[in-house]
Every structure is written in structure tokens, then in C-alpha cells.
Amino acid sequence: MALHKRVNASAKTDETTGFGTNRSMYGGRLINRDGKANVHKTGISFFDKLSWYHTLIQMPRWKFLTFIFIWFLVVNLVFAGIYYLIGVENLGGMEGKTVTEKFIEAYFFSAQTFTTVGYGRINPTGYLTSFVAAFEAFSGLLFFALATGLFYARFSRPEAFLRFSENALIAPYRDGIGLMCRIAPYKNNSLTELEVKLTVAMRLEENGKEANKFYQLEMEISKVNALALSWTIVHPINDKSPLYTLAAEDFKNLKTEVFVMVKAFDETFSNTVVARTSYTNDEIVFGAKFIPMYRRSVSGGTTILELDKLNHFEKADITMALPGLES
């Protein structure tokens, strides 16, 4: 039977995903695991395409600190070279004898000027050197103002701080089966009023051409009041589901991708935060179920949430759950 005919015909397509239906225009997955769209933009210049603020805010912490450190080193190398070209004899208090020693002293004079520390042993003596030093001090004030603003923005930016399981599972659910993934908070922030939306994308044949079809998946629970432990998000695969009667092989042939979007209210920042990810057919495991990831403490006075078990699952028999799932 053709795969597009095996998809539940009663399921209603979702036209609000923001993605087009022409599959031949897309490459790879639609949404990356980090929640960003798998899109590379061209047609404009590099500087018009790149937002330095968003890039510096969103880059990993180690990359951000490395960028700031390298920028500081490079700027001071440039100014040290300018002082050296003007003439180190215009820097009073120099003690270096060799070319290398003089350049090193010029570099550290630049660093002291750029940071407006100014220890005083070395000082500019000519008009041109004094002008460069004044301009460097002004540049340093701007640099540290921007760096401080970026540090604060990164520190104060609301984030969901949610982790998703690495795999989605087709697992036993009540008298049938369900599509499941799991999320858990990993910081000490407090999330309330959580809402989740599941959407599945399938590559189907339509009028002889491949097309993207999107279906919003109904969930067992789509809203929770608060998230202190883990939350297993469940889509029951019943006669209303577009996944009804599809076997594991069908998922692979359909190039399935499941989008997960979570929206919550962060009480710390009094702001709404969003987290998203997706699972391709290679990341969907058939015949498995999650194992519990929280337990009672030894003293019995608290609950232990074991975040390293977020993606731990075990095999489960689902072959008899629904006839259409036999592969």
C-alpha cells in the first residue's frame, strides 16, 4: 500500500507551522535539535545578515569569553604597533633595550591606557603619541561599557533552562501505544503555566510530487501548572492520530520529523520563555519506554531528580498494541 494512503486520512493538516509544503525546496531536517531553524541565509552581505548583538548573546559562554579576551589582545597589539611606529622615544620611562623589549613595554603601556589604569611609569611625551593614547583610552571606555552590557544581558536574559530527551519513543500507553518524549528543568528557576505543542512533519506524495504535510498532534496533557520534576509528553496514537497504523519502516520512508515547542512563565524574571527541539525518524525509537528519573531520598525528606537519566529507556513490546504497527 502507498505510504500516503497509510497515513490516517481523518487527521487534519496544520497550516500554521511557518514551513512550506514543497519538499523539494528543503534540505535535511526542518528544525535543529537546539530549536533553531535549519536555514542558511544568502543574498545579502555578511554584515547585513549577522546581528552582532544576538550572536554575542546567544553564543556559548566559553566562546563569548574567548572572543572578549582575543579582542582585548588584538586591540592592544594594534595600538602597541602604532606606538612603535610613531617611535618609542615618545614614551617616557621606557627601560627596554632590545626591539622585543621595547615592543613588549609599548604593549603593556597600551593595555594600561586601554583599561584606564595608568600606573605612571611610562607616559606619552609627544603630541601625536598623546593623541593616540587619549583616543585609546576613549576606545577602552566604550569597549568595557559594551562588554559590561553584554555580560549583564547574558546574565539577565530569561531562558527556559529545559532539557529534552535525546530520543522520542513509541511506547506502550494504556491499552495502546503513544509517541513520547521527556523534558526536565536543570536550573533552580521556577517555571509555571507550561504549555506544549507537538507537530509532526511527513514527506508524502501529492499529485506525483513530494510534499510536506504537517499535523498537530493531540496530547494526553498539553498544560501543567508547574514543572518541578520531569514531564513525559505523550501523544496517544489512536484512530484520530495521523500516525495510526504506521509501522517503524513507514516512519523511515516518510522522513518523519516531530517538532516540540514548550512555552512557560518564569517567575524569577516574570517573563515568558520558550524552548523547542525536533526528532527525526532516526531519533524515534520503536518499542521502548522511559525509566523513572526521580526517587525518594534516603532520609525520605525530599525527592531526587536524576537528570543524567533523562534519556534512559528500556525495551518494551508494542507489536500487539495495534495491528497496523506490525512491521
DSSP 134-179: HHHHHHHHHHHHHHHHHHHHHHH-----EEE-S-EEEEEETTEEEE
Same domain, 185 and 307: yes
**Using CA atoms, how far apart are residues 319 and 287, in angstroms rounded to an integer?**
8
On whether the pTM is more than 0.85, the answer is: no
Same domain, 129 and 151: yes
Domain termination site, one of 156, 175, 206: 156
Domain termination site, one of 95, 122, 156: 156
Same domain, 180 and 215: yes
* pLDDT above 80: residue 7: no
Across the chain, what does the average pLDDT equal? 83
Q: What is the largest CA-CA distance in the chain?
A: 89
Same domain, 206 and 279: yes
Query: Residue 201 has what pLDDT?
Result: 85
Same domain, 10 and 114: no
**Using CA atoms, how far apart are residues 39 and 129, in angstroms rounded to an integer?**
48
49 Rama sector, left if φ>0, alpha if ψ -120 to 50, beta otherwise: alpha
Cβ atoms of 161 and 187 within 8 Å: the answer is: yes
CATH number of the domain encompassing residue 130: 1.10.287.70
* pLDDT above 60: residue 63: yes
Same domain, 209 and 176: yes
Same domain, 99 and 146: yes
Residue 231: pLDDT band with limits 50, 70, 90: very high
Same domain, 181 and 254: yes
Query: Residue 8 has what pLDDT?
Result: 54
Q: Which residue has the cell 509532526?
A: 200
106: phi then psi, degrees, rounded to nearest 5: -65, -35
Which tens digit of pLDDT belongs to each residue from 259-307? Answer: 999 999 998 888 999 999 999 888 998 889 999 999 898 888 899 999 9
Query: Residue 77 has what pLDDT?
Result: 94
Residue 308: pLDDT band with limits 50, 70, 90: very high
CATH number of the domain encompassing residue 312: 2.60.40.1400
Query: Residue 109 has what pLDDT?
Result: 87
Q: Select from 304, 316, 17 the least CA-distant residue to 171.
A: 316
Same domain, 207 and 297: yes
Same domain, 149 and 164: no
Q: Select from 97, 266, 284 the least CA-distant residue to 191.
A: 266
* pLDDT above 70: residue 146: yes
Residue 4: pLDDT band with limits 50, 70, 90: very low
Higher pLDDT, residue 69 or 58: 69
* pLDDT above 90: residue 181: yes
- Compute the average pLDDT of residues 218-226: 91
**Domain containing residue 251:** 3-40+159-325
Residues of the chain with pLDDT > 90, as a percent, come to 33
Residue 139: pLDDT band with limits 50, 70, 90: very high
Query: Residue 207 has what pLDDT?
Result: 67
Q: Which residue has the cell 549577522?
A: 50
Query: Residue 174 has what pLDDT?
Result: 85
Higher pLDDT, residue 40 or 63: 63
Query: Residue 321 has what pLDDT?
Result: 57
Domain termination site, one of 137, 156, 175: 156
Same domain, 187 and 321: yes
**DSSP single-letter state for residue 241:** S
Query: Residue 2 has what pLDDT?
Result: 47
Which tens digit of pLDDT belongs to each residue from 316-326? Answer: 887 655 444 44
Residue 24: pLDDT band with limits 50, 70, 90: low
SS3 326: coil
With a CB cutoff of 8 Å and minimum separation 6, the contacts of 219 are 196, 198, 233, 234, 235, 236
Query: Residue 180 has what pLDDT?
Result: 93
**Using CA atoms, how far apart are residues 129 and 135, in angstroms rounded to an integer?**
10
Same domain, 27 and 53: no
Number of helices followed by number of strands (H, E) in the chain: 7, 16
Residue 71: pLDDT band with limits 50, 70, 90: very high
**Using CA atoms, how far apart are residues 318 and 171, in angstroms rounded to an integer?**
7
Nearest-5° Cα angle at 30, 29 to 31: 100
Angle between helices 127-156 and 99-114 (to 10 degrees): 60
* pLDDT above 80: residue 216: yes
* Tally of domains within the chain: 2
Q: DSSP readout, 5-22?
A: HHS-TTSPB---SS--SB
Q: Select from 159, 160, 204, 200 the least CA-distant residue to 183.
A: 160
User: What sign for the dihedral angle of Cα 76, 81, 84, 86?
Assistant: negative
